[in-house]
Amino acid sequence: MRFREFKPLQEGNKSDTVRYNSEVGMLAAFCDADISQFDPNMPQQTFSVDTLTNPENTYRDIIKYLSPVYDLPTFNKFYNLGIKYKQRILQELETLGEPAPTTYDWSGGSNINPEGAADVIFGQHPTMHGISIKAESGITLRNLTAVSVGLSEGEDVIEHPDVFARYAEPEWIALKQYGISRVLDIARKQPGKPYSPIKPKYQIVYEPGAMAVQPPKAGKNKGITPGVKNSMAKMAVGKEPMGQDPAPLSENVEGYFKMFDGDKWTELTEQQIYAASNRNAGWQRVFGDHVQANWNKDQQIKILADKLFSSISEIFVDKIKTSLLVKERLHKLLAMGKKGYFYATPKQLYFVPGVEQVDNLILKDVVYGAPKGSAQKFLAYIGMEGGENNATVLVYVRYANGMFDANPTVRIQDLKNPGALAWTKLM
């Protein structure tokens, strides 16, 4: 029985499954590979060394990234799509007077390439980087850091890592601590019974009596993070000063809470939970899930959230606008590099020129969009200097990895009217 006839073992997350199968599937098409005997654990049987720029690296990355999440239907879908797109891309290169690529490379586990946004890379091509592959039909450009859109000063500046807290600290802590208070009340009323606002793997349990062991101290994103501004310490009225290590437990402690973050348990008293709430951590996911689940049910959550996001909306607009007036940052937002590349979705194929071919692109405006819960949307209008035809792109600031679990991320997506950026639709 061949490998492809087995049900694949899905060890990675869903996005990894889609990403790696779509990218390697299309790579196989451009390399004219015979996939009838494809085995992701032995890619050298399918991919000829003559078609790859860095054969050993590509073989290694396929085994490392694709093998654990290999999915035959997705792989075949993008292999067949690649067969169709390759013919059109070669035709466009000929029209542009550009040579056809002779070898190909794969970006592997790298999310962002320094030269554009290609996943399948044209080896040693003088003017074209390769092909950016998206499994969804909409045009999503890339994930960025807060620094990239002007919401942070950079790693060398001490700032709050949560961009919402950075610019609206009192409002952020008020919303967060209200969520904590509601969750603790619910858990306390059902001792020994887990409370999971959304997903069972993120839960809290109240245990009467004293903890048997001292809880863990500072830990990277999963434990208690010491150090906090005095202003936040003042917010925790009647609580232990925020940012200090948990106080030693005594035999008189009555009750504590166990939080599960999908990986491990963290045990803390109510006092310690509030004291550590100045920074996001994995064990705090259950509090963020409660806020998200009750966004339109608990009127106090809505009031506190409205105060938080209304206070940052104008600040974010001004900072994003100022940042994107710098051409290098605008080009990065648009996933544009010195070389051109092709952008492929299941339904569309575009040619994206290099920045030197469209040097007159400028930011026209940034406006605050309709938020969706805690996710904040900002629309950037971009076009040619002096022109009236503009593209729009969504700058999406959100808790992509769980509210109060990880800090907000910035995603650039939903590009509309790409023709205004000199994109050429090929299919």
pLDDT for 279-336, tens place per residue?
A: 999 999 999 999 999 999 999 999 999 999 999 999 999 999 999 999 989 998 888 8
Pick from 308, 340, 362: which residue ends a domain?
Answer: 308
Residues 295 and 184 grouped into a single domain: yes
DSSP designation for 100: P
- In a domain, residue 75? The reply is yes
- In a domain, residue 133? The reply is no
Q: How far apart, in Å, are the Cα atoms of 95 and each of 6, 37, 362? A: 43, 35, 28
Is the model's pTM score more than 0.85? no
Residues 174 and 301 grouped into a single domain: yes
Q: Are the CB atoms for 150 and 319 separated by under 8 Å?
A: yes
Pick from 280, 308, 336: which residue ends a domain?
Answer: 308
Cβ neighbourhood burial of 172 (10 Å; 0-12, 13-18, 19+): buried
Residues 170 and 302 grouped into a single domain: yes
- In a domain, residue 240? The reply is yes
- In a domain, residue 7? The reply is yes
Pick from 96, 123, 150: which residue ends a domain?
Answer: 96
- In a domain, residue 412? The reply is no
pLDDT for 196-239, tens place per residue?
A: 999 999 999 999 988 775 555 544 443 333 333 333 333 333 33
Residues 296 and 191 grouped into a single domain: yes
Residues 82 and 218 grouped into a single domain: no
pLDDT for 348-365, tens place per residue?
A: 999 999 988 888 899 999
Parent domain of 167: 163-308
Residues 173 and 269 grouped into a single domain: yes
- In a domain, residue 334? The reply is no
Instruction: Count up the domains in the chain and report the number.
Output: 2
- In a domain, residue 201? The reply is yes
- In a domain, residue 329? The reply is no
